[in-house]
A and B are shown apart, each in its own frame.
Chain A
Amino acid sequence: MADDTSELVVETQNLTKIYQNRQIALNDASLTIDPGCVLGLLGPNGAGKTTFLRLILGLHRPTAGWAKVFGQVMSPNAAHLRRRIGYIPTNPQFPKGMTPISYLDYIARLFGLPANARKPRLATLIRAVDLLPHSGEPIIHFTPGMTARLAVAASLINEPDLLIWDEPTHGLDIEARRSMLELIKTLAAEKTLILSSHNLSDVDEVCNHAAVLNKGQLIFHGSLQDLKGRIKKNHYELDLDGDQKSITKAAAALRTHKDFTQVLLRQRRMEVKFGDEIPNSALFAQMFQILHDHKVTLITVRSVGMQTEQAYLDLVEREESRGFARLYRDAEAA
């Protein structure tokens, strides 16, 4: 565990990576990650997400700048720092001829864990990730879901303080993805996580912070609320219960109100857009009152249009549109 709880888990300063003077993978990225943070690393393909993670892990050396982990500069030989990190690469590869037991034993030995610590730990993890019936089978015959679960077990075997998972839900079926997200939520209570993902709904569900990379440039770093705050939260969808006539009347009543700019009704699902003048909490109060007056029961309320996705797309689009002004930092960017 971290000696000092106020110690930054990750800190990068002007982190830059240029591959063989041919490709700029990461450009001047500076950010900090506090203990307990669950950071979603977002960006299109080739944005530099994996490069950023590999620099933090010491698998790559920065061309310029530095990355500190637990207050110390990460380097290829900083084994003592990596001992506190659990990593899942995008497509985990496994040595040939190994079974989950031999693989986890190998990984535990790579962390320097003595036999009396690693054997019970690997047995617990194999059971936890539901690989007990397959623990003696060669990994080469595993499905993508099974290899993903094994990779999760490998990343947790050293009881790390920092987890770096590069697209952990990639290639998983719905059930496995749900389990993975639940696991992340559980782990988030006691560990710091960095999740790279293309799936913005996953990030929305489990992360409390976000960093957005675009063409190697860090264009946003802050809380998920800050990212969402960049777009207007005024579009909601309601699932209703009650008499269809009452619901139709309630919708008609809402339409007469000028602050509800759009009210669409499809059977028992209603889409409502709020105006910008009045705070949305006041409009919600009015809307709930109208529904109550018409004896309509509210089942669910949700915001429409994946706010994180909209905010992300908005950020990337605005960065693209800045032209040569990209030379200077956007005042609103982190």
Chain B
Amino acid sequence: MEAQPAVVTVRFNKFLPYWAVLQTDLRQTLRSWVYRLWVLTTIVAAAGFLIYRVGLHKEAGMFQSAATQSGDLFRFMLVGSLALVVVLAVSAIGAEKGTVADSVLSRGISRHQYFLAKWHARLAVVLCTFSFLSTAVLTASYFLFKADEQSDLSLAGGLAATLAICAVLFVIVSWGVMIGALSNGTVLGITVFWLLLYGLGFLLTLLPEPWPSPERELGRLKFVLRGQYNSRLLTDVLLGAAGLSGVAAAIGLAGFSRRDV
């Protein structure tokens, strides 16, 4: 009697497609020239700024508190990063449409999983990179100016400032990925988002005090770095960022599921 061949039943892992896209996107983002340019320019600019300040302090005796300097540096880092972070976020899905998206979305992955994987990958890259860079900047500032009596950086303040900026980046990346998923072209998406972001920022700077002007809020970073911050306000910022990002993700998920790729 012939032996029957063993029937191998393959159990599909429902979450494997999500992890596959997430891992591949993380790897590819870290290799992309936009990411490398962002990291390189931030490091060079931050190092240049710190060396200049140390020079002024040591050679000319002009002293500015560590918190004020770090606050300024954080502000420059955020404003300078915006353009490239927007490119990174919008291109997450937008750049693959009509190219490799075909090879991916024609397999056993749903649009929801694909969108979530791309969104999470870009969030992880941007937030981890910014947290790492800001920690490096704060550590460098602390060690460079710790001999000074007026050194006023606090650990809790540094953490709060990093969290606040990461919350802003969280919203920007979420809306960027959403716009990239819903726009017809990456260049169009990037242009629209730049216009929205810088236009909104400019309009808010024109509004009076109760309105959150980016200029004023970023100017307050030096107080936050000294540890003078309102925990409740910080919680509100984090919750607000989570809410806005959630809205972006919901729009992106619903819209991307109905779009042609």
Distance between A32 CB and nearest chain B CB, rounded to angstroms = 22
Distance between A75 CB and nearest chain B CB, rounded to angstroms = 8
Distance between B22 CB and nearest chain A CB, rounded to angstroms = 11
Interface size class of A (residues with CB under 8 A): 20 to 34
Distance between A85 CB and nearest chain B CB, rounded to angstroms = 7
Asked whether A89 lies within 8 Å of B257 as measured between CB atoms, the reply is no
* Contact for A82 among B13, B14, B107, CB less than 8 A: B107
* Contact for B28 among A85, A87, A95, A107, CB less than 8 A: A95
* Contact for B108 among A61, A79, A97, A106, CB less than 8 A: A79
Q: Which residues 121-162 of A sit at the B interface, judged by CB distance below 8 A?
A: 154, 158
Asked whether B20 lies within 8 Å of A97 as measured between CB atoms, the reply is no
Known: A89-B103, A92-B103. A79 touches B113 (CB 8 A): yes
Q: Per-residue CB proximity of B67-108 to A under 8 Å, as 1/0?
A: 000000000000000000000000000000001101111111
Q: In the complex, what distance in Å separates the CA atom of A276 from the CA atom of B202?
A: 83
Q: In the complex, what distance in Å separates the CA atom of A20 from the CA atom of B140?
A: 54
Asked whether B257 lies within 8 Å of A110 as measured between CB atoms, the reply is no
Asked whether A114 lies within 8 Å of B108 as measured between CB atoms, the reply is no
Nearest B residue to A95 via CB reads B100
Known: A77-B257, A114-B16. A93 touches B108 (CB 8 A): no
Q: Per-residue CB proximity of B231-261 to A under 8 Å, as 1/0?
A: 0000000000000000000000000011111
Is B24's beta carbon under 8 Å from chain A? yes
Is A57's beta carbon under 8 Å from chain B? yes
Asked whether A93 lies within 8 Å of B16 as measured between CB atoms, the reply is no
B100 cross-chain contacts in A, Cβ below 8 A: 93-95
Q: In the complex, what distance in Å separates the CA atom of A97 from the CA atom of B25?
A: 12
Q: Per-residue CB proximity of A188-209 to B under 8 Å, as 1/0?
A: 0000000000000000000000
Q: Per-residue CB proximity of A78-91 to B under 8 Å, as 1/0?
A: 11101101010100
Query: Interface of chain A, helix or strand or loop or mixed?
Result: loop
Q: In the complex, what distance in Å separates the CA atom of A19 from the CA atom of B261?
A: 12
Is B214's beta carbon under 8 Å from chain A? no
Distance between A192 CB and nearest chain B CB, rounded to angstroms = 16
Nearest B residue to A114 via CB reads B13
Known: A61-B258, A61-B260, A79-B110. A111 touches B102 (CB 8 A): no
Known: A95-B24, A96-B28. A117 touches B110 (CB 8 A): no
Distance between A305 CB and nearest chain B CB, rounded to angstroms = 37
Known: A61-B260, A83-B12. A93 touches B99 (CB 8 A): yes
Is B36's beta carbon under 8 Å from chain A? no
A78 cross-chain contacts in B, Cβ below 8 A: 110
B121 cross-chain contacts in A, Cβ below 8 A: none
Distance between A108 CB and nearest chain B CB, rounded to angstroms = 9
Interface size class of B (residues with CB under 8 A): 20 to 34
Q: In the complex, what distance in Å separates the CA atom of A35 from the CA atom of B133?
A: 58
A113 cross-chain contacts in B, Cβ below 8 A: 10, 12-13, 16
Q: Which residues 101-129 of B sit at the A interface, judged by CB distance below 8 A?
A: 102-113
Q: In the complex, what distance in Å separates the CA atom of A19 from the CA atom of B259?
A: 11
Is B31's beta carbon under 8 Å from chain A? yes
Asked whether B19 lies within 8 Å of A109 as measured between CB atoms, the reply is yes
Is B219's beta carbon under 8 Å from chain A? no
Known: A77-B111, A114-B11. A93 touches B103 (CB 8 A): yes
Q: In the complex, what distance in Å separates the CA atom of A109 from the CA atom of B16?
A: 6
Q: In the complex, what distance in Å separates the CA atom of A92 from the CA atom of B21?
A: 18
Nearest B residue to A109 via CB reads B20
Asked whether B103 lies within 8 Å of A111 as measured between CB atoms, the reply is no
A111 cross-chain contacts in B, Cβ below 8 A: 12, 17, 107-108
Q: In the complex, what distance in Å separates the CA atom of A77 from the CA atom of B114?
A: 10
Distance between B100 CB and nearest chain A CB, rounded to angstroms = 5
Asked whether B10 lies within 8 Å of A110 as measured between CB atoms, the reply is no
Asked whether A107 lies within 8 Å of B107 as measured between CB atoms, the reply is yes
Asked whether B13 lies within 8 Å of A110 as measured between CB atoms, the reply is no
Distance between A142 CB and nearest chain B CB, rounded to angstroms = 14
A54 cross-chain contacts in B, Cβ below 8 A: 260
Asked whether A85 lies within 8 Å of B106 as measured between CB atoms, the reply is yes
Q: In the complex, what distance in Å separates the CA atom of A176 from the CA atom of B20?
A: 31
Is A46's beta carbon under 8 Å from chain B? no
Asked whether B31 lies within 8 Å of A97 as measured between CB atoms, the reply is yes
Q: In the complex, what distance in Å separates the CA atom of A61 from the CA atom of B260?
A: 6
In the complex, 5 of the A-B residue pairs with CB atoms within 8 angstroms, ordered by the A residue number, are A82-B108, A95-B103, A97-B27, A110-B104, A113-B10
Chain B residues in contact with chain A, CB under 8 A? 8, 10-14, 16-17, 19-21, 24, 27-28, 31, 99-100, 102-113, 257-261
Q: With A93-B100, A110-B20 given, can you name 16 additional A-B contacts, CB distance below 8 Å?
A: A59-B106, A60-B261, A76-B105, A77-B111, A79-B113, A83-B107, A87-B106, A92-B103, A94-B100, A109-B19, A110-B16, A110-B21, A110-B108, A111-B108, A114-B11, A158-B108
Closest 10 CB pairs of A and B: A109-B20, A112-B12, A83-B108, A110-B107, A111-B108, A77-B110, A87-B106, A79-B110, A60-B260, A76-B111
